[in-house]
Amino acid sequence: MRRILPCLPMLLVLLAGCGQSSAPVEPAAQATELRDAVQAPLDKAHAVEQTLQEDADNTRKAVEDAGG
């Protein structure tokens, strides 16, 4: 017991240092970041799809104009 008593204050200081030091992030902010991270590649894919569709339409029109 005599060995434990001198270590007790140090143990309490160490345990007090284990508390949360950073402010918690709001769930709404996390959801917004996640939604944006998922939505950005989808928006890019939709833009590429639109470009490909326009190119296909232009090619089809060119073939029809050429008599094909």
| Predicted confidence pLDDT, tens digits, the chain (68 residues) | 567 777 777 777 777 667 666 667 687 888 899 999 999 999 999 999 999 999 999 999 999 999 86
Structure tokens, 55: 């190119």
CA dist list (Å): 16 to 6, 11, 12, 20? 17, 9, 6, 10
What per-residue confidence (pLDDT) applies to 14? 72
At residue 54, the pLDDT reads 98
Is the overall model pTM greater than 0.85, yes or no? Answer: no
pLDDT confidence of residue 10: 75
**What pLDDT, on the 0 to 100 scale, is given for residue 30?**
82
